[in-house]
Amino acid sequence: MLSTKDKIKYVAFKLFLEKGYEATNIREICNEVGIKPSSLYFYFKSKEELFFSIYDEVWGDKIRFIENVEELKKNISPDVKLYSVFKNTVEYCSKDICRQKFLLRYHLFPPEELIKVLRDKFKYWVDRENLIIANLVRDCIEKKILGSRISVADFLKDYNKFTTFQIIEMIISNIKLSSTEINNLWLKFWSSNYS
Amino acid sequence: MLSTKDKIKYVAFKLFLEKGYEATNIREICNEVGIKPSSLYFYFKSKEELFFSIYDEVWGDKIRFIENVEELKKNISPDVKLYSVFKNTVEYCSKDICRQKFLLRYHLFPPEELIKVLRDKFKYWVDRENLIIANLVRDCIEKKILGSRISVADFLKDYNKFTTFQIIEMIISNIKLSSTEINNLWLKFWSSNYS
DNA sequence: GTCTATAAGAGGATAGAC
DNA sequence: GTCTATCCTCTTATAGAC
In this predicted model, what pLDDT tens digit does every residue of B9-37 receive, in sequence order? Answer: 999 999 999 999 999 999 999 999 999 99
Verdict on whether the full-model pTM lies above 0.85? yes
A21 CA, C11 C1': Å apart: 13
In this predicted model, what pLDDT tens digit does every residue of B98-154 receive, in sequence order? Answer: 999 999 999 999 999 999 999 999 999 999 999 999 999 999 999 999 999 999 999
- Range of weakest confidence among A1-15, A68-82, A178-192, B54-68: A178-192
Cβ–Cβ gap A168/B169 under 8 Å: no
Distance CA B120, CA B59 (A): 13
Which amino acid makes up residue A72?
L
In this predicted model, what pLDDT tens digit does every residue of A124-134 receive, in sequence order? Answer: 999 999 999 99
Q: Please, what is the end-to-end C-alpha distance for chain A in angstroms?
A: 51
Distance CA A132, CA A141 (A): 15
> Residue A65's closest CA among A38, A41, A84, A37?
A84
Q: Are the CB atoms for B121 and B169 separated by under 8 Å?
A: no
Distance of residue A74 Cα from the nearest chain B Cα, in angstroms: 35
Cβ–Cβ gap B111/A161 under 8 Å: no
Q: CB under 7 Å from any atom of strand D: which residues?
A: A 4, 34-39, 42; B 24-28, 37-38, 41, 45-48
Evaluate if residue A173 carries a pLDDT over 90: no
DSSP-derived secondary structure for chain B: ---HHHHHHHHHHHHHHHT-TTT--HHHHHHHHTS-HHHHHHH-SSHHHHHHHHHHHHHHHHHHHHHT-GGGGSS--HHHHHHHHHHHHHHHHHHTHHHHHHHHHHHHS--GGGHHHHHHHHHHHHHHHHHHHHHHHHHHHHTTSS-TT--HHHHHHHHHHHHHHHHHHHHHH--PPPHHHHHHHHHHHHHHHH-
Under the banding of pLDDT at 50, 70 and 90, the label for residue B77 is very high
Distance of residue B79 Cα from the nearest chain A Cα, in angstroms: 26
In this predicted model, what pLDDT tens digit does every residue of A7-31 receive, in sequence order? Answer: 999 999 999 999 999 999 999 999 9
Q: Does A110 touch chain B if contact means CB atoms closer than 8 Å?
A: no
